[in-house]
Amino acid sequence: MHDLMVLGDDISSYVAAAVGIKVGLKTIHITDNSLKSLSRNDIFFIAGTTPITGFGDGEIANYLLKELNIELEDILSPLKLAYQVILPEHRVDFFSSKKDMLNDLVREFPQKKKEIFSFYNETEKTSQFFKNWFNDYPFFQVNNFKQYFNYVGLIINLIKFKSKNNKFRRILFTEPSLRKTFEAQLAFLSPNIDAFQLLSSAYLLSTPQRGIYHSFKIEAGVMEALLDFFKKAGGKYSDNYKLLSIRKTKYIEAEVIDGEGVISRIPAKFLIISNKSNGMNLFYKKRGSINTNRWLKNIKVTHYPLLLHFILKRECLPEKISQYALVINDIDKDIYDDNLIILGISSLNRSQLTSQEKVLLTATVFLPADHESWKRENLLFLANSVVNKLADYFPFFNEGIEFFDPHKSIDFSIKYRSIINPKYKMKKSWFSGFSVQNNRTPLKNVYICGSFLFSDLSCWEGEIISGMYAVYHLLKERKKQ
């Protein structure tokens, strides 16, 4: 019997499995989705446009790699131009250099120079305070009076920032393009649709300076490194099973079927399952199925991502376009009302872009999580609309398309829409104001991981810490037994 079974194919699952084996748990990791990429004629598209963050000094991904003695310095190079926000009459470049970023913001919005500098100075201070506190209490938990005192200090600082933030928002409403610039950033960086209201929004807005990394190199590199560590440490990894059911008896038992049709049962004392795993709908007990929706009662999915994949001639895009670009069509519409296209751009060979080669482009649009929005005819109409909008910004876009199959993109998006980082509305803690959810479930030996658990952080950082946190809770429960 295994001590721990991990179900899922996202980064939080790989983290949970690696940390579990690191602390001495006999662990099996079963993946039930192949989400690392979308393949077309041996060409691999990124599955989504989630930014990769958290590898700076003292940050969570960096901490994880050090704990596991994993070295990835050869690919850990942050983008100098983290992302761009493209509007009808403006283009703002968000550089890793704070000075360059502020200069570009002021170039586009000179009448708001004083307010922009004041806001970002406050953002930098608050973000550093939050980062320091998070390093001391990485799971948002405090255990004694002194820690509670420090926690209160954090809350006071974050509330001060929120006051500054609210003041700045009132200024933003007098300049719609500037307002949309900030709304687009937070829609890109956070899984929470209310990110502008989060006390930790300062941490999110400082992301360009903390570092954004290209998803092709880092996501695959980190997952492969975690998997290599897991296997070498004695972990059992399986990606050739289809999960049939999960039964809760005294222990946890997963029923699986392999590629040859052989059914087997895998028992474990504890289970960590990603909220994105198909297994969330396959829980059973003696008297019938288990409603896992109750485990997530404080969380509501509001929008799912539609991902459109293209192969383009490089010359059809601007020379200075960033590898991430946030395109806004109408400065007067809500950001989630078909008004934001997130572009992820990479070369075909995953190296530096050149003017002669073809590029891969993934365009992500978030749609309401209702039946009407996801009817195929509506999705086809929207896919064509996205192409037309991009052609408005990039005049040679249509001529540069070498491959675009809207039906394949739609099929992929429908199949995996709840798995590739949707957007959530979450209940915040009345005490702290954080939107942190607990890994525990009503089943004392079952824990959840996934980015939504720590939505005050970016999707990537939230996934990493949720995987670590699930093992932390498991060990505490194990000590009681």
- pLDDT above 80 for 347: no
pLDDT at 360: 87
Between CA 385 and CA 394, with CA 389 as vertex, the angle to 5 degrees is 140
Give me the mean pLDDT over the 235-249 stretch. 89
- pLDDT above 50 for 38: no
- Rounded Cα distance between 157 and 89, Å, is 36
Q: 50-64, 240-254, 360-374 — which one is most confidently predicted on average?
A: 360-374
Which of the residue ranges 122-136, 263-277, 393-407 would you say has the lowest mean pLDDT?
122-136
Which of the residue ranges 37-46, 158-167, 382-391 would you say has the lowest mean pLDDT?
37-46
Q: How confident is the model at residue 406 (pLDDT cuts 50, 70, 90)?
A: very high
- pLDDT above 80 for 434: no
pLDDT at 320: 86
Q: What are the CA-CA distances from residue 333 to residues 105, 112, 159, 336, 340 (Å)?
A: 21, 22, 29, 8, 10
Closest CA to 367 of 309, 423, 408, 420: 423
Q: 150-159, 348-357, 387-396 — which one is most confidently predicted on average?
A: 387-396
Q: 5-9, 319-323, 378-382 — which one is most confidently predicted on average?
A: 378-382
Under 8 Å between Cβ of 301 and 354: no
- pLDDT above 70 for 149: no
The overall pTM is greater than 0.95: no
Q: How confident is the model at residue 250 (pLDDT cuts 50, 70, 90)?
A: confident
Encode pLDDT of 441-470 as tens digits. Answer: 888 899 999 877 777 778 888 889 899 989
pLDDT at 326: 97
pLDDT at 125: 81
Neighbours of 287 (CB within 10 A): 6
Residues 351-386, buried b or exposed e (16+ Cβ, 10 A)? eebeeeebbbbbbbbbbbbeeeebeeeebeebbeeb
- pLDDT above 60 for 392: yes
Please report where in the chains the tokens 């960086």 appear, as a residue.
189
